[in-house]
Amino acid sequence: MNGDALSDLLLAAIALIVAWRLVNTHPGVAVGIMLVGFAALLGVMDYLGIVQTRGPHHFASMVAACAGLPLIAISIGWPHDAIARRIGAAARFAVLAGGIGVLLVGVLGVSPLGQVLPALSALMLVFSAVRSRRTAAICASAVLVCTFVASAVGWIVSPFNAVQQLHVLMAVWLVLMAIDHASLACQLTVFHGDST
């Protein structure tokens, strides 16, 4: 297995594990992460040289960029909205936003949107994290911003290449986000325990 496939496998595994752990408590975030994980899973096969997965990988990556990341950002930014609390609402957002994203970016060629939406999502995550004052959340959003900035300006840290660095940094972001959600859940348990 080459490095690109291995890094995407790492991202896929972490994304699917984190999504699985969050699906009951944060369904909106979980659906968004699932889209990232699914794209990464197809990416593993693509980087392994299975040419049949190249198109589907591009398709799924576009859906993850246009629907997955915005869904995560919206669900974290407004945790009491239906989209964050109900899996049905999150799924319909994923389908409609993903479809329209594919239409605009993939079919009509409005390529910048494929970068603008993830960037806006990252900024929104930073804003939510700073507002929440939780260390893990701030670190997670900072990692995501660094990921996109590094991709955009071409900063590559050895021993990775651009693709591997993107995958690894996104995996780190997801781990930090999972830690943040786990600590938040602990705090809520303590809070509810005290109040009762």
Q: Which residue ranges make up the site for another protein (CB under 8 A)?
A: 52-53, 55-56, 58-59, 78, 81-83, 86, 88-89, 92-93, 95-96, 98-100, 102-103, 106-107
89 vs 171 by CB, closer to another protein: 89
Minimum distance of another protein from residue 61's CB (angstroms): 10
- Residue whose C-alpha is closest to residue 32's, from 87, 79, 82: 87
Minimum distance of another protein from residue 190's CB (angstroms): 28
Place of tokens 């993850």: 64
84 vs 129 by CB, closer to another protein: 84
106 vs 114 by CB, closer to another protein: 106
DSSP assignment of the chain = --HHHHHHHHHHHHHHHHHHHHTTT-HHHHHHHHHHHHHHHHHHHHHTT-GGGHHHHHHHHHHIIIIIHHHHHHHHHSTTSHHHH-HHHHHHHHHHHHHHHIIIIIIS--TTHHHHHHHHHHHHHHHHHHHHT-HHHHHHHHHHHHHHHHHHHT---TT--HHHHHHHHHHHHHHHHHHHHHHHHHHHHHHHHHH-
Minimum distance of another protein from residue 160's CB (angstroms): 27
61 vs 165 by CB, closer to another protein: 61
Minimum distance of another protein from residue 67's CB (angstroms): 11
Minimum distance of another protein from residue 43's CB (angstroms): 14
